[in-house]
Amino acid sequence: MQAEIDVAVVGGGVAGLTAGMYAARNGMRTVLFEAMMPGGQTATILRLENYPGFPDGVDGAALAADILRQAEAAGCELRYEAVQEIIPAEAVAAPHTIVTAAGRYAAKTVILAGGAAPRRLGLPREEELTGHGVSYCATCDGALFRGKRVAVVGGGNTALTDALVLSRYAERVFLIHRRDAFRGSRVLEDRVRATAQIELLLSRTVSGLLGTDKLSGLQLAAPDGADAGELAVDGLFVAVGVSPVSEFVADCLQRSSNGGIVTDARMQTSLPGVYAAGDCRDTALRQVVTAAADGAVAAASASEYVMSLG
Ligand code: NAP
């Protein structure tokens, strides 16, 4: 077991990095655990248009890199280790245990900032065709479909943004949504409707994936399940929402029906000394600005808790 950490932050997206920066600036010994690359979902946004202070938009990866630099400059220590388990303290004021492949760490407080992962459609062969035509990240994989026919499924901001990103590469983009009204922002919807390469297929669902070694098309259905024909495409981008990531924490942590970690306004979870911030939380709005704000509040609450321990 290593020396005790004041604030352990789990996850290096904007919520975690901001929490790390604020906690370190409060004089806390702060360690941030990140399994892969810091930046989270923000690092995949080509142009972030609704983060305050950037009227011309900002590159998501650049913004995340700057917040990382700011966190490290404040004294937040980065550990590139995947957290396997968090064992909550057995008594109030006792340390929590963070378990990674590299070791075990005792932490007075923990800020959960694991973000959210894209939801699957749940279709047969979806997993097998992932990376062979099926993708969950238009920014990452869009360029592979230059001059091809692709489809996006979903009706939220991610689906609208993905369709716009893909229209830069693909010859034709079909946006398939199960209703006839989008739930994403009006500005994005207007832009999608004004883009010639994007064709809307409303009140349609994807009921099957066609192709053997790689995706060659989609089986479509009407909302009542009736067959709506086949659509030949080379790629399918799934944008049907996200699921909060928190599986490494004990089941006793209170979660909402969709898996979001329940917190109060101070980001306190149902476990004393454990806080949550950003997309892993049960929250009405998942944006970069709310992730940053959650991180700041969680760090302030965790710092107060550490100080109350004396
Ligand atoms: P979302 O807002 O939850 O939308 C998910 C969409 O997928 C909905 O339109 C839903 O249809 C549809 N859907 C769900 N399950 C489906 C299924 N099994 N088959 C077919 N369609 C299905 O998710 P999101 O778009 O990923 O956005 C997540 C969060 O990130 C939101 O808070 C969003 O505002 C935010 N975000 C913001 C931006 C931005 O501001 N630029 C960009 C990306 C994401 P129904 O509408 O019928 O429920």
279-309, pLDDT tens digit by residue?
Answer: 999 999 999 999 999 999 999 999 999 999 9
Phi, psi of 174 (to 5 degrees): -100, 125
Q: What is the CATH number of the domain that holds 75?
A: 3.50.50.60
- The stretch 151-175 carries a mean pLDDT of 97
Ligand 1 centroid – CA 285 distance (Å): 11
Residue 146: exposure state from Cβ atoms within 10 A (0-12, 13-18, ≥19): exposed
Taking CA atoms only, the protein residue closest to ligand 1 atom 28 is 241
Ligand 1 atom at shortest distance from the alpha carbon of 188: 41
Q: What percent of the chain has pLDDT over 70?
A: 99
**CA-to-CA distance for 310 and 306, rounded, in angstroms?**
7
60 Cβ below 6 A of ligand 1? no
Q: Are residues 54 and 125 in the same domain?
A: no
Instruction: Note if 213 is an active site residue.
Output: no
Which residue among 220, 238, 256 closes a domain? 238
Ligand 1 centroid – CA 102 distance (Å): 36
Q: What is the pTM of this model?
A: 0.89
**CA-to-CA distance for 162 and 195, rounded, in angstroms?**
13
**CA-to-CA distance for 209 and 231, rounded, in angstroms?**
10
- The predicted pLDDT at position 156 comes to 97
Is residue 1 predicted with pLDDT exceeding 80? no
How do beta strands 235-238 and 103-112 pair? unpaired
- The predicted pLDDT at position 3 comes to 65
Taking CA atoms only, the protein residue closest to ligand 1 atom 16 is 240
Q: Are residues 102 and 17 in the same domain?
A: yes
Confidence tier at 93 by pLDDT (50, 70, 90): confident
Q: Which domain holds residue 290?
A: 5-117+242-308
Q: Are residues 11 and 112 in the same domain?
A: yes
Instruction: Note if 66 is an active site residue.
Output: no
Residue matched to tokens 């029906």: 257
Which residue among 213, 238, 263 closes a domain? 238
Instruction: Note if 252 is an active site residue.
Output: no
205 Cβ below 6 A of ligand 1? yes
CB neighbour list of residue 77: distance below 8 Å, 6 or more residues apart: 29, 30, 31, 32
Q: Are residues 81 and 153 in the same domain?
A: no
Taking CA atoms only, the protein residue closest to ligand 1 atom 37 is 157
139 Cβ below 6 A of ligand 1? no
Q: Are residues 9 and 108 in the same domain?
A: yes
Q: What percent of the chain has pLDDT over 90?
A: 93
Q: Are residues 57 and 202 in the same domain?
A: no
CB neighbour list of residue 232: distance below 8 Å, 6 or more residues apart: 149, 216, 217
The domain total for the chain is: 2
Which residue among 216, 238, 260 closes a domain? 238
Ligand 1 centroid – CA 100 distance (Å): 32
- The predicted pLDDT at position 27 comes to 98
Instruction: Answer yes or no: are the C-beta atoms of 248 and 280 closer than 8 Å.
Output: no
Instruction: Answer yes or no: are the C-beta atoms of 96 and 8 closer than 8 Å.
Output: yes
Q: Are residues 230 and 296 in the same domain?
A: no
Q: Which of 6, 76, 141, 280 is catalytic?
A: 141
Amino acid in position 217: G
Q: Are residues 108 and 216 in the same domain?
A: no
Q: Are residues 145 and 253 in the same domain?
A: no
Q: Are residues 43 and 180 in the same domain?
A: no
Ligand 1 centroid – CA 39 distance (Å): 21
Q: Are residues 207 and 266 in the same domain?
A: no
Ligand 1 centroid – CA 305 distance (Å): 35
Q: Are residues 163 and 24 in the same domain?
A: no
